[in-house]
Amino acid sequence: MSHLTTHVLDTTHGRPAAGIAVTLRDADGVVVARGTTDDDGRIGELGPERLAEGTWTLSFATGAYWAGLGIAAFHPRVDVVITVPGADERHLHVPLLLSPFAYSTYRGS
């Protein structure tokens, strides 16, 4: 399992958000990994086995997801910026709760 995983839930329909493209970028904006949420809204392998200390950005292509459902959305993309502390060896799980006009995220387990 990679150091970083994510899970996207469509809170409008009460189900996982499948088919959302996600990119992982380092502090310089270089794309390190790409993935797409599965039928359960998850990406279980995103990025290297261990992320280096520093700032990382997960970009979720939410506009395409909503357009595919025929719904106009306010956020065409959601960028979640996280900090990986050097001494923290725990798994990093970043859930995204999504609706057409809002989103929320937190550090999961």
**Could you say which DSSP state residue 28 is in?**
T
Strands (E), the chain: 4-10, 15-16, 21-25, 31-36, 42-43, 54-60, 78-84, 92-99, 102-105
Domains annotated on the chain, with CATH: 4-105 (2.60.40.180)
pLDDT in tens, 52-65: 899 999 999 999 99
pLDDT in tens, 2-39: 789 999 999 999 999 999 999 999 999 999 999 999 99
* Helix (H) or strand (E) segment spanning residue 65: helix 62-68
Q: What is the pLDDT of residue 10?
A: 98
